[in-house]
A and B are shown apart, each in its own frame.
Chain A
Amino acid sequence: RKEVEQDPGPFNVPEGATVAFNCTYSNSASQSFFWYRQDCRKEPKLLMSVYSSGNEDGRFTAQLNRASQYISLLIRDSKLSDSATYLCVVRRSNTGNQFYFGTGTSLTVIP
């Protein structure tokens, strides 16, 4: 089983739509959780950390469910500039604090 699993998509949504991405992780020792954004042929960039109580940054909301080992990202009022691949990342303490990346979910926002 992969350490981090994501639906690869692609998700094609109209401007202004709300879209949700899901991610599951396999190891309960995972301690830190992140969503990264990667544009085509560019480096991954941190979008937001995911806190246990859930957190929001403008149009983006992240949720964590430790019991189900599940992370989500909600994007409201999608913009054309949101088109990218979204990577779910976990950091696990019992492997020397290593990071584990999902393969990403592709989003295209259509005019």
Chain B
Amino acid sequence: NAGVTQTPKFRVLKTGQSMTLLCAQDMNHEYMYWYRQDPGMGLRLIHYSVGEGTTAKGEVPDGYNVSRLKKQNFLLGLESAAPSQTSVYFCASSYSTGTNQPQHFGDGTRLSIL
């Protein structure tokens, strides 16, 4: 019963390096989301997708790109990592509609940029 799986769990990068975070869900959810959470702060939406092949910007999209080539996968890319992107990144997914259909979260990726 995997749910939402994020890889990697931890990563340390140097400033200027690039990397991709992978999110996979096996619940056939239409919507997928990427959030970041910094100490003492709430979740902030980076990008989201309402379906395969579609993406949209959230609250804090700068410095990130995303792709949703397959319904079950949502990739978050950092083209040129900066120390300000040190954070915990959470992926989530949900059904598109339906009363009381919640978001389901992955267990996070802890990313440090040196």
Which positions in A face B, CB cutoff 8 Å? 31-32, 34, 36, 41-46, 49, 51, 87, 89, 91, 96-99, 101-104
Contact = CB atoms under 8 A, between A and B. Distances in A.
A64 to B, nearest CB: 11
Interface stretch (B13-21, B66-74, B75-83, B88-96): B88-96
A45 B105 contact: yes
B1 interface: no
Contacts of A96: 50
B107 A97 contact: no
Contact of A43 (B31, B100, B101, B107): B107
A30 to B, nearest CB: 11
A43 B97 CA distance: 23
A26 B101 CA distance: 20
Contacts of B31: 97
A44 B90 contact: yes
Interface in B14-45: 31, 33, 41-43
Nearest to A44: B105
Contacts, number: 47
Contacts of B100: 32, 34, 49, 51
A89 B102 CA distance: 9
Nearest to A99: B103
27 contacts: A31-B99, A32-B99, A32-B100, A32-B101, A34-B100, A34-B102, A41-B88, A41-B108, A41-B110, A42-B107, A43-B90, A43-B106, A43-B107, A43-B108, A44-B90, A44-B105, A45-B105, A46-B102, A46-B103, A87-B42, A89-B102, A91-B101, A97-B96, A97-B97, A99-B103, A101-B42, A102-B42
Contacts of A87: 42-43
B30 to A, nearest CB: 10
Contacts of B41: 103
A44 B108 CA distance: 10
A103 B42 contact: yes
A51 B99 CA distance: 10
